Structure 1
């Protein structure tokens, strides 16, 4: 979506001023100024119709329900939609088709603008709203071609999947047609018009949500290949397991490169996430428990939408990705489930420079640009995937052509898997549902009504013997390099576990370990640091019996064990450094808790920043590549900072420590505590618009957490006040002892309509660790979802009645 595409694109100092970058020659400035003035003038003219988005009027829940598109519905039987005070729908339908249609109707009504933008990104059409700025972004997206596998996926669909998707699509398109009379405020601002959706659009959006989180690191490493020291950088990346999947608010500038990077980071399905399952024998309630919190962009609207549903085949509550007809995580009467990204490598890079010309196909694509002439670009494909280095935003060496082979270009079927998972009655059915699931690879955890818990690997991956030790780019002319793609593994070939002796399971994007006594095949190389995984297990081990309240507290935990250990090790090295006195006073006895009101994490992060940059400079890596590359990621810091510091000659090490301590102490004196610097911004994704973005900020407040705390609020190296734009953006807890014991909360709200009372009403709940109950019992639903919308087939005299 446009939100992740544009998030985190401004570097600011402590007073909030945007950095301007390198100086330019006066003549260049003049030419750029003229172009900028022309662009701004055209933008100003274009934005005049969008004033409603700049100053949206307040809209109540009742007003939003009054305009729900309930006329002329092609239903088979009457449908009832009940709503709670947060505009969460609970749909009761007599047929599965009508349930799917009503879900599409709800998605289109609540998230019409968001879904429209998701489609533009998935289809490489951002320039149609962003103008020439997005030209090269669109070219890169057209090369990635998220819709490439759609025709074959659709052809292979089982009849029940096809019927469900087509009905969902019909409901979404009905809401889209209704929106033509009163489109969302963003439409006028961005020059959008309602446009019908196709199954290919939905599949492309699904593939966008399944992007490989390894791409960001692959592409950043491509920029380094051929440079002196690359072999060492690659070896260290393998050792650290570094991941560049998480955008930081301080990182980058407002460039197409930053926008493209943020698209890949902000839409990767559950790019982070925690999930915990507790068996009944370890539960305080007597029922198995499950808790899940996906990590994605913290911009609004949230990517997820909470729903309840009941039809002949479905009876569930959970979270759906806006615009897609599946429950990503949730609960039915028999089972609760959630997942985390495996960080498995579902892609390989191939050097196709030596392929015969006959194996390279090319075609031209037309890119439409708002307020600018259309342009054309070339897209080249090979048997090993599209040539991604043809995109100007993907670095390459002269004369080199590198293709990306991705499971997402294969006809895997995630929609069927997730529809079956939502109907599963036990762990065996849940595990079987994921045969054929492809992207993005997920660790799926479940807890069942009979008290059992389990974990499986939902993925389709090449059957690799291992990963290259010297270079991430494989030779397409080498049969040994391409052979793994001739046999693909899926969940049936990968380990799983049921009923572990500890009675608990946890997943946090960590490096895979043996499951059920089976060692997994080589899955990937870049995983999250084990900090969250370690902390989750420690919290679970501290309770003989775990309650739902314990799991809710776990989701808001802000302690980082590795930060505490690293801080203690640095203090020992700073013992005789006078400049470190303020830091030592703040860090003495710190347990690694990133509470918003704590001063220690502030001291730690300032010290880390200056030490990392000092060590990079000592090793010749003090340029932009070093500051924004994998070396600034938490994995690299925890793996190499002390080692590299201790490897310096004594005199240079002492100088680096003194200088870093002095700089960090000065930074520390400017702020009060962690929350004074680490902020949580409540903002619509339009905040990323130039000039006008500030109009879309609804609030700014201190927040706890860090890169790898269970309550994740990610950031990069800290130089001053910043916004956390990536982290724990939804939460779910279910207790299988009670069908009604299911709680969900979004960072944001259900409604994407600017000005709606349900646009950001869940933010206070999220901040306070509270949630909304989504029950399964009909009588509880009736009591807690008091607003009713009744939908009738169009042939009946009364199409809709409300009370």
Structure 2
């Protein structure tokens, strides 16, 4: 109880106290290791061996983010009910079925010796901090014990971060199969290129969990020397994930015999996901590839096991988990809808013994773009568009994925027949990064990626996926890059904070044209006035963005077909930009007029209550414990207006808007590197480095994030010594 109270009323802890608490006795090191720290508690590790570097990184992860790593493992293992009680049991059952760690034993068995040694040392450091470090206050609130980690746990956490974002669209579609209008819905879903909203509350909870923890969004751009003011290549990347604290990234710098780089690491994983070495810088975006297929396994043999789910403050529960030759039967989970008696299995590339850790360790050691691309030969999940720039001035992008060698996608139903060899045979021929699209040195000297359809940058790509960003973000990024003949790092920083959605402007213009065409002209001219000439900028002080979103929220539901589920065009930006105007025009004239007038009349009183977009579009600074019932409000640190929207470069995701709402997903970290200077690397997190409640470094980067400032992570030793003045020496 006392540690729980400590989480609710955390004691303020300074940087020096947090450094003094780092475990230093009994360390399994071969030699001394120096860690330099800056004022934001960013570590820069200098080690005499690669394994000492790995051990120290694990120690730092455990010290700064110990509870976060423990919770990532609980999610990956389907053990949330151990801290959340019976409310999480159905989610745990779904997670057990998905089996993030299913391939881990075989992955570990196949590791090359260099990977095995590095991960083993990392796990040893993580365990040292876990077993011997101070107990974070929230560990007591959650009832977390001191449980050691294994290499298999690391693989499972990595596969959790590689979740296929298509699952949520698939599962929602399962709820509609067999209903009148499904054929039309499937055609519209394919055309829009986006999935549907969750079908039930349990699925929504699972979706929020997986999208908040997996790399489901992001922007990245690369600039060739001929377009760079510095005369060298530049790269910028900003991943999109859950906007809760602690951040799902950790900033680090490191040097050992094989590694010299700075960048972002996922807590609990021994790899740099986005970073810079003296030779190469890289970032990436989620490819949104279909690395999974659904199969009807009614005619296949199934093996069955019973799993025991421990529930905090209650008795253990048992659930059934069934496996087919095509994968686990996901419709056994209560949160996954299905037709009675129809077992649907999930075939996922994340259940294959691929090796993302080795791929990223090799990428960190690459000396040029060719070596970087070759590193991803056995990378599976989550599928990524990786953008890179190197010291020689080359820029490129590659497809990092492991996908079935499909001839195409089903035209009428997302569920395949497991008895059909044509449906199952592509999984016996998997394409890796070497057989998937890549591009180097485009003539225009720029590259941009924002989860777009690969058909936008490569001719006739192989079948890759269904659900992509609608292209608004990537079009805006390209326009901003092309607007200047020579780009600076400051230009890239401004690009990351841009809040313009070009398709919003086009959609608003289309709505105004239809309203103006009504008998007597558009109703409520004062309400609609801000939309005239609006450029689609979702700045926090924009009145037009507010009015536009209020109109959408009234229009979209009114366009649902009779008897529809209410989860069609109104649920996502792709649906809105693809169908909203088309559906309006398809209505009989009298009905179209009634819908438009009702939307304006309904939006007017809402618009009168609020001044601008930022008054309703709110970004909450809160620990993830804010989701706890009753106690959650104790973990809110701040709440402020924010710009951006679903598909602006500075993404701040939301749904339909009728009033104040909280942004929970979007641009939560930033990276910029200029290859002209070893020290020209800037990073920012939404939040801070330290996961310890009450720490001075828990949320100290939020002002930087809001103001567009950043932290420099240099590579030159003399700069590191000057800007990272606090020194910790670890000894064997």
**Cα-to-partner distance string for 1:696-743 (whole Å, 9 max, x where unaligned):** 000000000000000000000111101111000000000000000000
Counterparts in 2 of 1:442-461, with a 5 A limit?
442-461=384-403
1:223 alignment counterpart = 175
Q: Partner of 1:379: helix, strand, or coil?
A: strand
Counterparts in 2 of 1:502-521, with a 5 A limit?
502-513=444-455, 519-521=460-462
| Structure 1: tracts of 5 or more residues without a match | 1-46, 246-250, 794-803
Quickly say closer, same or farther: Cα 1:146–1:630, change in 2 above 3 A.
farther
**Cα-to-partner distance string for 1:283-315 (whole Å, 9 max, x where unaligned):** 000110000000000000000000000000000
Q: CA deviation at 1:665?
A: 1.3
Please tell me whether the aligned partners of residues 583 and 604 of structure 1 are also in contact (alpha carbons under 8 angstroms): no
1:88 alignment counterpart = 42
Please tell me whether the aligned partners of residues 3 and 137 of structure 2 are also in contact (alpha carbons under 8 angstroms): no
Q: In the alignment, does 2:256 pair up with 1:302? A: no
Q: Partner of 2:591: helix, strand, or coil?
A: helix
Q: In the alignment, does 2:340 pair up with 1:401? A: no
Q: In the alignment, does 2:705 pair up with 1:760? A: no
Which of the numbers 568, 582, 607 marks the counterpart of 1:668?
A: 607
Q: CA deviation at 1:244?
A: 5.0
Which of the numbers 678, 681, 690 marks the counterpart of 1:751?
A: 690
1:202 alignment counterpart = 154
Quickly say closer, same or farther: Cα 1:354–1:631, change in 2 above 3 A.
farther
> What CA distance in whole angstroms lies between the structure 2 residues aligned with 1:57 and 1:427?
48
1:620 alignment counterpart = 563
2:287 alignment counterpart = 342
> What CA distance in whole angstroms lies between the structure 2 residues aligned with 1:466 and 1:268?
26
Q: Partner of 2:651: helix, strand, or coil?
A: coil
> What CA distance in whole angstroms lies between the structure 2 residues aligned with 1:219 and 1:397?
12
Please tell me whether the aligned partners of residues 495 and 518 of structure 1 are also in contact (alpha carbons under 8 angstroms): no
Counterparts in 2 of 1:565-584, with a 5 A limit?
565-575=506-516, 576=518, 578-584=522-528
2:297 alignment counterpart = 352
2:713 alignment counterpart = 774
Which of the numbers 644, 664, 683 marks the counterpart of 2:622?
A: 683
Q: Partner of 1:422: helix, strand, or coil?
A: helix
Q: In the alignment, does 2:228 pair up with 1:283? A: yes
Quickly say closer, same or farther: Cα 1:469–1:754, change in 2 above 3 A.
same
> 4+ residue stretches of structure 1 with deviation over 3 A?
576-580
Which of the numbers 111, 119, 122 marks the counterpart of 1:165?
A: 119
2:547 alignment counterpart = 603
Please tell me whether the aligned partners of residues 340 and 442 of structure 1 are also in contact (alpha carbons under 8 angstroms): yes
Q: CA deviation at 1:148?
A: 0.4
Q: CA deviation at 1:520?
A: 1.8
Which of the numbers 132, 140, 160 marks the counterpart of 2:86?
A: 132
Q: Partner of 1:594: helix, strand, or coil?
A: coil
> What CA distance in whole angstroms lies between the structure 1 residues aligned with 2:275 and 2:527?
44
Which of the numbers 387, 405, 410 marks the counterpart of 1:463?
A: 405
> What CA distance in whole angstroms lies between the structure 1 residues aligned with 2:451 and 2:584?
28
> What CA distance in whole angstroms lies between the structure 1 residues aligned with 2:455 and 2:281?
23
Please tell me whether the aligned partners of residues 740 and 774 of structure 1 are also in contact (alpha carbons under 8 angstroms): yes
> What CA distance in whole angstroms lies between the structure 1 residues aligned with 2:320 and 2:456?
45
Counterparts in 2 of 1:184-195, with a 5 A limit?
184-195=136-147
**Cα-to-partner distance string for 1:757-802 (whole Å, 9 max, x where unaligned):** 0000000000011110000000000000000000011xxxxxxxxx
> What CA distance in whole angstroms lies between the structure 2 residues aligned with 1:244 and 1:96?
46
CA RMSD, aligned part only?
A: 1.3
Q: CA deviation at 1:518?
A: 5.3
> What CA distance in whole angstroms lies between the structure 1 residues aligned with 2:176 and 2:21?
54
Q: In the alignment, does 2:504 pair up with 1:563? A: yes
Q: Partner of 2:323: helix, strand, or coil?
A: strand
Q: Partner of 2:486: helix, strand, or coil?
A: coil
Q: Partner of 1:640: helix, strand, or coil?
A: helix
Quickly say closer, same or farther: Cα 1:463–1:336, change in 2 above 3 A.
same
TM-score for both structures, normalised by structure 1:
0.90
Please tell me whether the aligned partners of residues 574 and 580 of structure 1 are also in contact (alpha carbons under 8 angstroms): no
Quickly say closer, same or farther: Cα 1:280–1:511, change in 2 above 3 A.
same
Which of the numbers 175, 198, 204 marks the counterpart of 1:258?
A: 204
Q: CA deviation at 1:399?
A: 1.1
> What CA distance in whole angstroms lies between the structure 2 residues aligned with 1:518 and 1:230?
31
Q: CA deviation at 1:258?
A: 2.8
2:592 alignment counterpart = 653
Please tell me whether the aligned partners of residues 495 and 519 of structure 1 are also in contact (alpha carbons under 8 angstroms): no
Q: Partner of 2:557: helix, strand, or coil?
A: helix
Which of the numbers 169, 186, 190 marks the counterpart of 1:234?
A: 186
2:675 alignment counterpart = 736
Q: In the alignment, does 2:639 pair up with 1:700? A: yes
1:211 alignment counterpart = 163
1:549 alignment counterpart = 490
> What CA distance in whole angstroms lies between the structure 2 residues aligned with 1:294 and 1:661?
36
Quickly say closer, same or farther: Cα 1:518–1:651, change in 2 above 3 A.
closer
Which of the numbers 55, 71, 78 marks the counterpart of 1:101?
A: 55
Please tell me whether the aligned partners of residues 173 and 196 of structure 2 are also in contact (alpha carbons under 8 angstroms): no
Q: Partner of 1:261: helix, strand, or coil?
A: helix
Q: Partner of 1:573: helix, strand, or coil?
A: helix
> What CA distance in whole angstroms lies between the structure 2 residues aligned with 1:582 and 1:370?
56
Q: CA deviation at 1:364?
A: 0.8
TM-score for both structures, normalised by structure 2:
0.98
Quickly say closer, same or farther: Cα 1:468–1:244, change in 2 above 3 A.
same
> What CA distance in whole angstroms lies between the structure 2 residues aligned with 1:178 and 1:501?
55
> What CA distance in whole angstroms lies between the structure 1 residues aligned with 2:331 and 2:563?
27
Which of the numbers 2, 8, 30 marks the counterpart of 1:76?
A: 30
1:495 alignment counterpart = 437
Q: In the alignment, does 2:666 pair up with 1:720? A: no
> What CA distance in whole angstroms lies between the structure 1 residues aligned with 2:156 and 2:566?
34
Please tell me whether the aligned partners of residues 619 and 662 of structure 2 are also in contact (alpha carbons under 8 angstroms): yes
> What CA distance in whole angstroms lies between the structure 2 residues aligned with 1:582 and 1:297?
37
**Cα-to-partner distance string for 1:92-146 (whole Å, 9 max, x where unaligned):** 0000000000000000000001011111000000000011101111111100010
> What CA distance in whole angstroms lies between the structure 1 residues aligned with 2:499 and 2:60?
35
Which of the numbers 503, 523, 528 marks the counterpart of 2:469?
A: 528
Quickly say closer, same or farther: Cα 1:309–1:49, change in 2 above 3 A.
closer
1:268 alignment counterpart = 214
Q: CA deviation at 1:519?
A: 3.1
Please tell me whether the aligned partners of residues 142 and 379 of structure 1 are also in contact (alpha carbons under 8 angstroms): yes
> What CA distance in whole angstroms lies between the structure 1 residues aligned with 2:460 and 2:513?
39
Q: CA deviation at 1:514?
A: 6.6
